[in-house]
Chain A
Amino acid sequence: EIVLTQSPGTLSLSPGERATLSCRASQSVTSSYLAWYQQKPGQAPRLLISGASSRATGIPDRFSGSGSGTDFTLTISRLEPEDFAVYYCQQYGSSSYTFGQGTKLEIK
C-alpha cells in the first residue's frame, strides 16, 4: 500500500501570503491518480485538484498543483480568508485509495 505523508502538519500564515503544501508518497504514484481536497469544519471534503495539476470546476486559479513520481505540491498563491481549512492529498492504485493525514492551514 502506498503511504502518503503530508507536510507540514500545520501551516500558520496570514491572508495574502503564499501557501505551499507537500505530499510525499512512499512509492511512485501515477500522476493521473493524484488529487487534492479541501475540508472545512463540519463539511464534506471538496475536490480541488485532480491529475496532480488540473483544477476542478469552480476552483479559483490561485490554487495550483504540481509534481510527479513521489513528490507533489499544492500551492495557494495568495491566501483568502476562506482558504483556511484542512487539505488532503489522495492517490489511487492497486484497487485502493489512500489519503495523506492532512495539512491544517490556519490563520496566523
Chain B
Amino acid sequence: QVQLVESGGDLVKPGGSLRLSCAASGFTFSDSYMTWIRQAPGKGLEWVSYISGSGNTISYADSVKGRFTISRDNAKNSLYLQMNSLRAEDMAVYYCARRAPSQRHLDSWGQGTLVTVSS
C-alpha cells in the first residue's frame, strides 16, 4: 500500500533554513506528481508546492515562491522541500501527499512533520 513518511521538521530561528524529506513506498514514485501541503497550528490546510514525476513541472504558492524549493530523487523514492528565509508564518505541520494518477486530487497523505519557527 502507499506509504509516505515525512521527516526533517525542527525548531528554527526566523531567517533560518530547513530541508524536509518525504520517503515514499508502495507505488511507482517516478510516475506520480507529489505535493507539499501545510497546516498552521489550529488552522486550515494550505497548498505549498507540487512537482511532476519527472521533476520538469513545478508550481509554488505565492506565499513561498522564491523562498522554498521542491525537488525529488526518483532513484531514492524521495521528495524534498528546501525552505529558506523562514518566517513565523511558515510554522506548521507539513504534509507530503500524492496526486492520484491522471487526476488532481490527493489520494494519499503522510503523517506530517512539524516546523517551528521561533527565536
**How distant is the Cα of A56 from the Cα of B109 in the complex, in angstroms?**
14
In the assembled complex, which residues on chain B have CB atoms less than 8 Å from the CB atom of A37? 45, 106
Q: How many A-B contacts if CB must be within 8 Å?
A: 58
Whether A50 pairs with B44 at a CB distance below 8 angstroms is: no
Q: Is there a chain B Cβ closer than 8 Å to A73's Cβ?
A: no
With CB as the reference atom, state the residue of chain A lying closest to B100: A50
Q: Is there a chain A Cβ closer than 8 Å to B56's Cβ?
A: no
In the assembled complex, which residues on chain A have CB atoms less than 8 Å from the CB atom of B31? none
Given contacts A97-B35, A99-B45, A101-B44, contact A44 B109 (CB under 8 A): yes
Whether B59 pairs with A46 at a CB distance below 8 angstroms is: no
Given contacts A99-B45, A99-B46, contact A90 B95 (CB under 8 A): no
Count residues on chain B whose CB falls below 8 Å from chain A CBs.
21
Whether A45 pairs with B45 at a CB distance below 8 angstroms is: yes
Given contacts A44-B109, A45-B109, A46-B109, contact A96 B47 (CB under 8 A): yes
A45, chain B: closest CB distance, angstroms: 6
Whether B105 pairs with A50 at a CB distance below 8 angstroms is: yes
Interface of A is mostly: strand
B48, chain A: closest CB distance, angstroms: 9
Which B residues from 60 to 119 make CB contacts under 8 A with A?
61, 95, 100, 103-112
Given contacts A90-B45, A98-B47, A102-B44, contact A44 B111 (CB under 8 A): yes
With CB as the reference atom, state the residue of chain B lying closest to A100: B44
**How distant is the Cα of A95 from the Cα of B47 in the complex, in angstroms?**
11
A34, chain B: closest CB distance, angstroms: 8
Q: Is there a chain B Cβ closer than 8 Å to A47's Cβ?
A: yes
In the assembled complex, which residues on chain B have CB atoms less than 8 Å from the CB atom of A45? 37, 45, 95, 106, 109
Selected from A35, A44, A95, A101, the residue in CB contact (under 8 A) with B105 is A35
Extra 4 A-B pairs, beta carbons < 8 Å, given A39-B45, A97-B50, A99-B46: A44-B111, A46-B109, A47-B108, A101-B44
Sample (5) of A-B pairs whose CB atoms are under 8 Å apart:
A39-B45, A45-B109, A96-B47, A97-B47, A99-B46
